[in-house]
Structure 1
Amino acid sequence: MKLDDRDSRILTLLQEDSRISNADLAEAVGMSPSALWRRVRALEEAGIIERYGAVVNAPAMGLGFQAIVHVHLTRHDPDKLVEFI
């Protein structure tokens, strides 16, 4: 699917607020609500929009520390896996 400027604008706005109403999104992009709905549906069906999500506030949840860790094991036999865990 080839994306145009409207598609890019739709995607930007949805990334900023995935809960934006169809009517508000249509107005922001300059389209009718029905045309916008079809466009968003096409983006979903093409796999460009995979899913919708929520960004949570970690400190508000009582999480003081966050880390992404990548571990590479040189051996994957069950004993070494248990030892690592």
Structure 2
Amino acid sequence: DHASVAILEIILRDEIGHVEAGSRWFHHLCAQRGLDPEQTYFSLLEHHLPAGVRCPLHRAARLEAGFSESELGRLEALCKRS
């Protein structure tokens, strides 16, 4: 129904904003520490999520939130490996 779709669109917009803010802060903190943000992010993912990440990914939303094509490709490579 239309009301549910409207609510889900609001949630998606909100989540894109949260991911974008988190990514911006992560990049800022990595820069302060002289760390490569992409390498650090994937090292942390592999350490904390050894079984892989849930897929499929919402590519358009992640791009809108500031993910690069390179990051998305690497994320897709980590889709659950079972």
Taking structure 1 as the reference length, the TM-score comes to 0.28
Name whichever structure is richer in helix by fraction.
2
Task: Work out which of the two has the higher radius of gyration on C-alpha atoms and give 1 or 2.
Answer: 1
Normalised by the length of structure 2, the TM-score is: 0.29
